[in-house]
Amino acid sequence: MNMTELNQFQKDIIDALGIIYKNFLIQNKRSIEVFLGDFRTSKIDPETFFDTVFALKKHGIGIDEYDRDSVLSQEQKMGARNTPCCEIQLPENFEMIYHTLRTEYGDRSEKSIKENKKSDVLYLNPVGDLWREPKQDHCYSMGENSDRHKILLYLIKNKGYQSASLIVEDLPGKSEQVTRTEIQKINKNFTKNLGKKMGKLIDGRKGSGYRIAHAIKIDKS
């Protein structure tokens, strides 16, 4: 399970627990029914809910899914709000389990979001090292006096698309074609060293020039 899948699973746990707890409070018993209408107002679909509740079996939470054809037939007659789709069996200490899991998975999800945001911030130091955390795994060293470092600094300083003819002014003795080639190499090495998930570092548009990709945030240290 990759990080994206893990974050989604944690969110599904929170959503499923919310549906179960709401019906537990309303029905006030250990064996409760969940209704199709619950999914109209939640952010989780029935299939995901069923799979998620099955994953809670180790906590003593059980589920019996009703016959789908019968459920759909009843929905046409009674409406989603009045159509139960499954029965959930809850342990005696369900309330304690609910609050524990809400805290556990809520904290995990928040921590994962913060870690993902942190990993997406790029850092550039004066000697031309461009990286994201952890630096030892994701660092592109351009060299302090390299043309690539100068190009990147120029694009950071000058917002929006910049033509090759403007960029080359910061590269004495170099041609516009060399500038374009260097930008291609920057993008190639950026992806190689910082990972494909980051996409391109520098966007190019015919007739407009080059800019730092809109989604990229660089913190100069």
**Angle of helix 46-55 relative to helix 3-27, nearest 10 degrees?**
90
The string of pLDDT tens digits covering residues 25-67 is: 999 999 999 998 888 777 678 888 888 898 899 999 999 999 9
The string of pLDDT tens digits covering residues 62-92 is: 999 999 889 888 888 888 888 999 999 999 9
Quick one: what percent of the chain has pLDDT higher than 90? 51
Does residue 209 share a domain with residue 104?
A: no
Q: What pLDDT band is residue 2 in, cutting at 50, 70 and 90?
A: very low
CA pair distance 21, 29, nearest whole angstrom: 11
Last residue of a domain, one of 118, 153, 174: 118
Token readout for 189 is 């090495």
C-alpha to C-alpha distances, 96 to 21, 50, 59, 70, 158, nearest whole angstrom? 11, 22, 11, 34, 56
Look at residue 113 in the predicted model and tell me its pLDDT.
47
Last residue of a domain, one of 118, 145, 166: 118
Tell me the CATH number at 146.
1.10.10.10
Average pLDDT over residues 104-125: 64
Mapped onto helix, strand or coil, the DSSP state of residue 181 is helix
Does residue 105 share a domain with residue 7?
A: yes
Average pLDDT over residues 1-10: 60
Does residue 64 share a domain with residue 162?
A: no
**Angle of helix 3-27 relative to helix 94-120, nearest 10 degrees?**
150
The string of pLDDT tens digits covering residues 128-186 is: 999 988 899 999 999 999 999 999 999 999 988 999 999 999 898 999 999 999 999 99
Does residue 134 share a domain with residue 95?
A: no
Residue 219 has pLDDT above 80, yes or no: yes
More confident residue, 116 or 163: 163
Q: How many domains does the chain have?
A: 2
Look at residue 155 in the predicted model and tell me its pLDDT.
95
| 66: containing domain | 3-118
Q: Buried (b) or exposed (e) across 205-214, using 16+ Cβ within 10 A?
A: eeeebbbbbe
Does residue 99 share a domain with residue 43?
A: yes
Last residue of a domain, one of 118, 150, 176: 118
Q: What is the pTM of this model?
A: 0.49
